[in-house]
Structures are given as C-alpha cells and as structure tokens.
C-alpha cells in the first residue's frame, strides 16, 4: 500500500508563473488536507477536501490559491501568479475519516516550491 | 491564532539521555498528536492522546496531557542518534466546525549526539 504521493518534490517558478502541486492520497483515503510550512516554522493548515468538495478552506489565502480533489485523479493545489513569499514546503496529508476519534493523518514527503 | 507553542525550540543531548519536549495550546481539544519530521522530509505520526487521557506510552515514547493547563509533554527515553529530528505537537480542536484539521506548534529541534 503506497503512502501519500506528492509531486513534484521540488518546483522552481519565476514570479508571475503558476505552480501546480499534486497529491495522491493513500489507497482507501477520501480526505485530503494541505498544509504549508515556511522555513523554520511549523505547519499551517490551508484546506481540507473530500472527493469533489472543499470542506474547509479557512487557511487558504483569499487570492491566487485554489484547490481541488476531483472524482478521478489526484488533489491539486494551484498557486497563480506566484510571488517570492509563496516559497515554502507544501505538504499533503490524507485520512480515512476525520469523524473517527483517531484522526491520524498520513503525510506525503512534500513539494518544496522556490520562487525566483 | 490557535497556534500552540513548544519549548524548548532546540535541544541537544548525548545518546542514551532522555529528551523532554513541551507543548502548550489555546483551545479545547479533541485529541493531541505528536509528529516527527526528519530534515527535508514529511511528517511521521508518533502518538495520539485523547482529551480524556492523561498519559500514554509507545515504546520509548511517553506522552502526558494536562487539559487544565492546556499542555502536553513528550518524553523520549534512552535517546539514539536516529532520534535526531524536529518534533511537533498538533491538536484537533473540539466543537462545531471540527473538520479534523491539525493545528501545529512551532516544533522542537532535537539533536542527539553519538
């Protein structure tokens, strides 16, 4: 059973370009969370999705950021018109069902975005 | 901000010694979890303690939870060089609107010298 797969592992973009980060959850998991980690900091929640639905996007910046989790295929975190402040590690985590008391999340290795 | 705090921010010990890390949080919680992050890697779940539990063990790990003080501690006994990593506490808050999102502390960087 493969773990959470994120790609690419490293992504370099110039200011103004678009960044697309992909996340395939563990088999059997239908809940996906995205977190951002700035250098020397802890992770900050961005968005929580189930298949075809955004459940909680309270941590998403209001502009330029969007996320989706289609019926088929990976979850995508899209950042339009990237700026240097978007440089960070972006982690995806999946979980079988948050309503279970044990909401243990399984993390991918992350995508490290560098904006030049 | 719901973000918690951890202390110390950095800890350096010799192999074989015990390491203790503390975490404080701000809201009522459903559970508290500890994760480890090796340099440049993703997070690995270590242990979960529910809000109605006070202490939990897993191998060389011991976690305590004091909900009255809104604090938790992680003890790693008989540390090894392989324990070198950053350790984060994360809470799942209790109440309506709970979507299971994790609220992370700032982390403690542990270095275990051989």
Question: Which band of pLDDT confidence, cut at 50, 70 and 90, is reported for residue B72?
Answer: very high
Give start and end residues of each alpha helix (H) in chain B: none
d(C-alpha B43, C-alpha A43), whole Å? 10
B91 touches chain A (CB under 8 A): no
Give the best-scoring range by mean pLDDT among A70-84, A90-104, B28-42, B82-96.
A70-84
CA–CA distances in Å: residue A64 to residues A60, A77, A85, A102, B106: 9, 11, 12, 33, 26
Report whether pLDDT(B30) > 70.
Answer: yes
Residues 17 through 76 of chain B touching chain A, CB cutoff 8 Å: 30-31, 33, 35, 41-45, 48, 50
What strand order describes the sheet that includes A19-24? A5-7, A19-24, A75-79, A65-68
Contact: B104, A91; criterion CB under 8 Å: no
Q: Given this model, what pLDDT does residue A115 score?
A: 97
Report whether pLDDT(B61) > 60.
Answer: yes
Q: Given this model, what pLDDT does residue A70 score?
A: 93
d(C-alpha B74, C-alpha B72), whole Å? 7
Is A72:A18 a contact under the CB 8 Å cutoff? no
Low-confidence ranges of chain A (pLDDT < 50): 101
Q: Given this model, what pLDDT does residue A44 score?
A: 94
């Amino acid at each position: 059973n493969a773990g959470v797969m994120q790609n690419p592992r490293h992504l370099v973009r110039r200011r103004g370009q678009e960044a697309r980060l992909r996340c395939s959850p563990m088999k059997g998991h239908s809940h996906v969370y995205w977190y951002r980690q700035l250098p020397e900091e802890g992770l900050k929640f961005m968005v929580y999705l189930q298949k075809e639905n955004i459940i909680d996007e309270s941590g998403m910046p209001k502009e330029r950021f969007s996320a989706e989790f289609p019926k088929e295929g990976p979850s995508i975190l899209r950042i339009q018109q990237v700026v240097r402040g978007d440089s960070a590690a972006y982690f995806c985590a999946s979980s079988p069902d948050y309503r279970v008391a044990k909401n243990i999340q399984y993390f991918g290795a992350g995508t490290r975005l560098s904006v030049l | 901000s719901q973000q918690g705090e951890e202390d110390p921010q950095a800890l350096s010990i010799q192999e074989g010694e015990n390491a203790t890390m503390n975490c404080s949080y701000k809201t009522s919680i459903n559970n508290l979890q500890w994760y480890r992050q090796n340099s440049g890697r993703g997070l690995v779940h270590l242990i979960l303690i529910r809000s109605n539990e006070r202490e939990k063990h897993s191998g060389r790990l011991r976690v305590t939870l004091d909900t009255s003080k809104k604090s938790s501690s992680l003890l790693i006994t008989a540390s090894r060089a392989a324990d070198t990593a950053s350790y984060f506490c994360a809470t799942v808050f209790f109440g309506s609107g709970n979507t299971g999102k994790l609220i992370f502390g700032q982390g403690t960087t542990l270095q275990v010298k051989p």
